[in-house]
Amino acid sequence: MTGLSRRKSTQAILDGRIKIDGQVEFYPRRELDPAVSKLTIDDTPLQYRADQKVVYLLNKPAGVLSAMTDDRGRKTLADLIEGRIKERVFHVGRLDQGTSGIIIMTNDGDLANLISHPSSEIRKTYIVKIKGSLKDEELQLIRNGITLQDGFTTSPADAYITRKDRETTTLRLTISEGHKREIREMLRVIGKRVQNLVRVSIGGLHISLVPNPGDIKKLSKKEVELLKKKK
Q: CA-CA distance, 164 to 171, in Å (whole number)?
A: 9
pTM: 0.78
- CATH number of 72's domain: 3.30.70.580
Q: Same domain for 97 and 194?
A: no
Domain tally, the chain? 3
pLDDT at 41: 77
Residues 127 and 196 in one domain: yes
Q: Which of 213, 198, 202, 62 is nearest to 128 (CA)?
A: 198
Residues 96-108 have pLDDT tens digits of: 999 999 999 999 9
96 noted as active-site residue:
yes
Name the β-bridge partners of 65.
Answer: 76
| pLDDT tens-digit readout, 16-66 | 667 778 777 766 556 666 666 777 777 777 766 667 899 999 999 999 999
SS3 of residue 48 by DSSP: coil
User: What digits encode the pLDDT tens for the residues 178-197?
Assistant: 899 999 999 999 999 999 99
Asked if the structure places residue 219 within a domain, the reply is: yes
pLDDT at 228: 83
92 and 131 part of one domain: no
Residue 191 inside a domain? The answer is: yes
Angle between helices 182-189 and 136-144 (to 10 degrees): 140
- Residue 50 within a domain: no
Active-site entry in 70, 96, 136, 158: 96
| 220 belongs to a structural domain | yes
Q: Give 89's Cβ-side CA count (13 Å radius).
A: 30
* Residue 89 and residue 110 in one domain: yes
What's the pLDDT tens digit per position in 128-152? 999 999 999 999 999 999 999 999 9
pLDDT exceeding 90 applies to what percent of the chain?
69
Question: Kindly report the CA angle at 32 between 28 and 34, in degrees rounded to 5?
Answer: 120
Terminal C-alpha separation, the chain: 40
Does a structural domain hold residue 212?
Answer: yes
Q: Which residues constitute the domain of residue 217?
A: 55-119+208-227
> Do residue 37 and residue 87 come from a single domain?
no
Same domain, 115 and 214: yes
| Cα–Cα distance list, 225 to 1, 26, 184, 202, 221 (Å) | 29, 40, 29, 11, 6
Nearest to residue 139, comparing CAs of 98, 192, 100, 99?
192
pLDDT above 50 (res 212): yes
User: Are 75 and 114 found together in one domain?
Assistant: yes
Q: Which residues pair with 158 in a beta bridge?
A: 174
Q: How far is CA 137 from CA 12, 46, 134, 140, 193, in A?
A: 62, 64, 8, 5, 17
